[in-house]
């Protein structure tokens, strides 16, 4: 029956070629769109880890909701040592973070001051290539400060100028500290160039009167997929200390980004389903026409012993042959396009003005490299094949309900 079905779909070559082409191109487009979607989502998640400060974040209880400097991690060395003993943790990055004002003789502007260990921070994000003036905390200065380009322009600052940082210390008191501008960042991202200010961890602690305390510990992992498991293990090992600490994975810290990705995935699925349904109506029409053209033939086959069940099965096998041929061609086309863009990439900035940012997370690299998700490709392939079979159900049902005598008498 398979051999007969294969021959039947090629009895009208033009119609079959058009159907296979429509299905194959739709299927290939779906695979390519899945590859680009996975690439964008993956790149956004990687950027989110950097923006959040790590795969897992540890703060004083209440800090993330209020962003207040009164919530600190006292005796961070103990927490760092505990976290480093958990399997999967590669390194721990301590930070001092404060919201405040940067002032110069010409004015003031809001900033987000980060006191960091440059060597440790570089393992997560190396900002030194974006310094277009001066250096990025190269060492040797007691009060270094690196500002975003927009801040330096607004305050009319040049390298070596004095900058007064005003912030709130751990006791809730307003404190001021003097820094000297040693570098200017130009990343091209407004989220950094307009508010970012960096100094060393020691200078930040000294300016805010924090002693050895820190605001945040960023935990970096070998595999991001293990972040919840590792978080729970760290919490368990810290024991009673967790009463004064909050542990968040990056997706818990940035729920807006996670929500955007989920919504975008859902819309992508809806658009794909709608496109496939449109193609499905065309396939259903093709098979219905095929059955109507062969009513006399089905009547003759019924007269010589072809049962209604076998007639129905024959039409479904024809649909399956058409679907498999279409999927094979579409997979070759989609796979070739995916391989090309996986290797060469697609520069979104070259296509149009591109400035994409959600919840403070932006695509720093606008060149997107297609990514293969075997599960999504397999599910999509099965969905397309099932849709093709579903569209052939009615024509197959019609073929099985034909009465041989009436079919042979009515259609000459």
127-173 pLDDT, tens digit per residue, is 888 898 999 988 777 899 999 999 999 999 999 999 999 998 777 78
- Nearest residue to 53 via CA among 105, 143, 120: 120
Query: pLDDT by residue (tens digit) across 375-386?
Result: 888 888 888 888
User: Is pLDDT at 184 greater than 90 in this prediction?
Assistant: yes
Mean pLDDT of 106-113: 91
8 A C-beta contact, residue 116 and residue 201: yes
- Residue 121 and residue 93 in contact, taking contact as beta carbons nearer than 8 Å: yes
- What residue ranges do the domains of the chain occupy? 2-49+257-410, 72-214
Q: What is the pLDDT of residue 82?
A: 93
User: What is the average pLDDT across 99-120?
Assistant: 91
For the chain, give the percent of residues with pLDDT over 70.
88
The rounded percent of the chain whose pLDDT value lies above 90 is 31
Residue 359, pLDDT > 60, answer: no
Q: Assign 354 a pLDDT band (cuts: 50, 70, 90).
A: low
pLDDT for 296 equals 66
Contact of 56 with 91, CB cutoff 8 Å? no
DSSP of 267-333: HHHHHHHHHHHHHHHHHHHHHHHHHHHTHHHHHHHHHTT--HHHHHHHHHHHHHHHHHHHHHHHHHH
CA–CA gap between residue 318 and residue 310 (Å, rounded): 12
Select, from the ranges 59-73, 280-294, 349-363, 396-410, the one with the highest average predicted confidence (pLDDT): 59-73
* Secondary structure letter of residue 244 according to DSSP: G
The Cα angle at residue 232 between residues 362 and 241, in degrees rounded to 5: 105
| The dihedral sign for the CA sequence 39, 45, 48, 54 | negative
pLDDT digits (tens, 9 = 90+) for 228-269: 999 999 999 998 888 889 999 998 988 887 887 788 778 877
Q: Report yes or no: 88 and 226 within 8 Å, Cβ to Cβ.
A: yes
Specify the range with the lowest mean pLDDT, choosing from 8-17, 105-114, 269-278, 298-307.
298-307
What are the residues whose beta carbons fall under 8 Å from the beta carbon of 322, sequence distance 6 or more? Answer: 9, 16, 19, 20, 23, 283, 388
Say what the pLDDT of residue 232 is.
93
Q: What pLDDT does residue 214 have?
A: 93
* 73-90 per-position pLDDT tens digit: 988 999 999 999 999 999
Average pLDDT of span 46-56 = 86
Fold of 72-214: Cathepsin D, subunit A; domain 1 (2.40.70)
Identify whether the C-beta of residue 377 lies closer than 8 Å to the C-beta of residue 40: no
Over residues 358-387, mean pLDDT: 77
> Across residues 108-137, what is the average pLDDT?
89
Q: Is the pLDDT of residue 355 over 60?
A: no
Q: Name the token pair of 331.
A: 């997979």
Query: Which residues have CB under 8 Å from 13's CB, separation 6+?
Result: none
Say if pTM beats, i.e. exceeds, 0.85.
no
Q: Which residue has the higher pLDDT, 90 or 69?
A: 90
Average pLDDT over residues 361-385: 79
When comparing pLDDT for 186 and 44, which is higher?
A: 186
Average pLDDT over the chain, rounded to an integer: 83
2 contacts 316 by C-beta, under 8 angstroms: no
Number of helical H runs and strand E runs in the chain: 17, 14
Average pLDDT of the residues in 60-73: 85
Instruction: Enumerate residues 6+ apart whose C-beta is below 8 A from 373.
Output: 34, 35, 38
pLDDT value for 58: 94
pLDDT for residue 374 is more than 70: yes
Query: At 96, is the pLDDT very low, low, confident or very high (cuts 50, 70, 90)?
Result: very high
In this structure, what is the dihedral angle of CA atoms 59, 65, 66, 70, given to the nearest 10 degrees? -20
pLDDT at 409: 60
Residue 122: how many other CB atoms lie within 10 Å: 15
Closest CA to 322 of 333, 314, 310: 314
What percentage of the chain's residues is helix, strand, coil (to nearest 5)? Answer: 55, 20, 25
pLDDT digits (tens, 9 = 90+) for 188-204: 777 778 889 999 999 99
Can you give the pLDDT at residue 23?
85
């Amino acid at each position: 029956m398979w051999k007969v079905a294969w021959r039947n779909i090629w009895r009208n070559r033009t119609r079959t070629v058009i159907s296979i082409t429509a299905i194959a191109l739709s299927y290939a487009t779906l695979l390519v769109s899945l590859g680009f979607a996975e690439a964008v989502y993956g790149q956004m998640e990687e950027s989110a880890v950097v923006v959040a400060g790590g795969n897992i974040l540890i703060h004083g209880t209440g800090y993330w909701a209020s962003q207040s400097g009164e919530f600190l991690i006292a005796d961070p060395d103990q927490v760092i040592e505990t976290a480093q003993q958990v399997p999967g943790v590669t390194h721990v990055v301590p930070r001092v973070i404060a919201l405040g004002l940067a002032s110069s003789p010409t004015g003031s502007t809001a900033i987000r001051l980060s006191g960091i260990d440059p060597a440790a921070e570089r393992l997560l994000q190396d900002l030194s290539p974006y310094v277009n003036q001066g250096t990025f905390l190269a060492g040797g200065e007691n009060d270094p400060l690196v500002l975003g380009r927009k801040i330096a322009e607004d305050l009319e600052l040049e390298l070596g100028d004095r900058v007064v940082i005003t912030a709130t210390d751990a006791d809730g008191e307003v404190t001021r500290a003097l820094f000297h501008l040693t570098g200017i960042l130009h990343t091209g991202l407004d989220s950094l160039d307009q508010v970012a200010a960096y100094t060393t961890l020691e200078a930040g602690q000294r300016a805010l009167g924090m002693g050895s305390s820190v605001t945040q510990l960023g935990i970096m992992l070998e595999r991001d997929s293990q972040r919840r498991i590792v978080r729970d293990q760290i919490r368990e090992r810290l024991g009673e200390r967790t009463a004064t600490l909050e542990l968040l994975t990056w997706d818990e810290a940035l729920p807006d980004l996670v929500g955007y990705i989920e919504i975008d995935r859902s819309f992508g699925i809806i658009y794909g389903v709608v496109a496939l349904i449109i193609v499905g109506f065309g396939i259903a029409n093709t098979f219905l026409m095929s059955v109507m053209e062969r009513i006399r033939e089905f009547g003759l086959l019924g007269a010589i012993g072809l049962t209604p069940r076998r007639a129905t099965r024959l039409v479904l096998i024809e649909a399956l042959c058409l679907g498999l041929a279409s999927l094979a061609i579409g997979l070759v086309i989609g796979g070739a396009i995916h391989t090309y863009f996986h290797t060469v990439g697609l520069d979104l900035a070259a296509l149009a003005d591109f400035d994409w940012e959600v919840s403070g997370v932006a695509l720093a690299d606008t060149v997107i490299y297609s990514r293969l998700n075997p599960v999504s490709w397999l599910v999509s392939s099965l969905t397309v094949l099932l849709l093709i079979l579903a569209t052939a159900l009615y024509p197959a049902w019609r073929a099985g309900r034909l009465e041989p005598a009436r079919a042979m008498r009515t259609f000459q």
